[in-house]
Chains A and B, each alone.
Chain A
Amino acid sequence: MPIILIADDEQHIRMLIEQTLETLEDEGVEILTAENGAEALEIIKEKRPELVFLDVMMPKMNGFDVCHTVKNVLCITGVYIIMLTAKGQEFDKEKGVESGCNEYVTKPFSPRELKNKAKEILGLI
Chain B
Amino acid sequence: MDLFNLRKFLQKKDTIKLIDSLTNSLGINVCIADSTDTVIYGADNRNHSGLPVIVNDASVGWVYGQDTAKSETIVTLLHHMVKTEMERKALATETLDKYNEITMLYDFVEKVNTFNVKEIANFLINQVLAQIKADNVLVILKNEISGKLEIAAGYGTTYDIGKELPQQTGAVCDIMLSGKAAIINDCRSNSSCVLDIGNINSMICAPLKAKEKTLGVVTASTEKSYNYCADDLRFFCTLVSQAAFAIDNARLYESLKGAFIKTVHTLAETIEQRDPYTGGHTKRVMSFSIAIAETLKLSSRERERLELASVLHDIGKIGVSDNVLRKTTKLTDEEFEEIKTHPASGQQILSYIEELRDIIPGVKSHHERFDGKGYPEGLKGTDIDLIARIIAVADSFDAMTSDRPYRKGLPFEVALSEVKKCSGTQFDADVVEAFIKACSENKIRPAEPGK
Q: Which A positions have Cβ atoms within 8 angstroms of B?
A: 12, 15-16, 18-20, 25-26, 108-112
Contacts and interface: CB of A to CB of B under 8 A. Distances in A.
Given A16-B99, A26-B8, A110 B107 contact: yes
Contact of B102 (A12, A26, A108): A108
B103 A109 contact: yes
A19 B102 contact: no
A111 B104 CA distance: 10
Task: Give the dominant DSSP class at A's interface.
Answer: helix
Interface of B: 8, 89, 91-93, 95-96, 99-100, 102-103, 106-107
Q: Which of A19, A20, A109 has the most CB of B within 10 A?
A: A19
A111 B100 contact: yes
Given A108-B102, A111-B99, A19 B92 contact: yes
B95 A12 contact: yes
Nearest to B107: A110
B92 A18 contact: yes
A26 B8 CA distance: 8
A110 B99 CA distance: 9
B16 to A, nearest CB: 13
Contacts of B89: 19
8 contacts: A15-B95, A16-B96, A19-B92, A19-B93, A19-B95, A25-B8, A108-B102, A108-B106
Nearest to A112: B100
A19 B96 contact: yes
A16 B92 contact: yes
A7 B17 CA distance: 23
Contacts of B103: 108-111
Contacts of B99: 16, 108, 111
A111 B96 contact: yes
Closest 5 CB pairs of A and B: A19-B92, A19-B96, A108-B103, A15-B92, A110-B103
Contacts of B106: 108
Nearest to B96: A19
Contacts of A111: 96, 99-100, 103
A112 B106 CA distance: 15
Contacts of B93: 19
Contacts of A16: 92, 95-96, 99
Contacts of B92: 15-16, 18-19
B109 to A, nearest CB: 12
A112 B95 CA distance: 14
Nearest to B105: A108
A108 B103 CA distance: 6
A20 B91 CA distance: 13
A112 B131 CA distance: 13
A51 B106 CA distance: 27
Most chain A beta-carbon contacts within 10 A, residue among B95, B99, B106: B99
Nearest to B106: A108
Best-surrounded residue of B89, B95, B96 (most CB of chain A within 10 A): B96
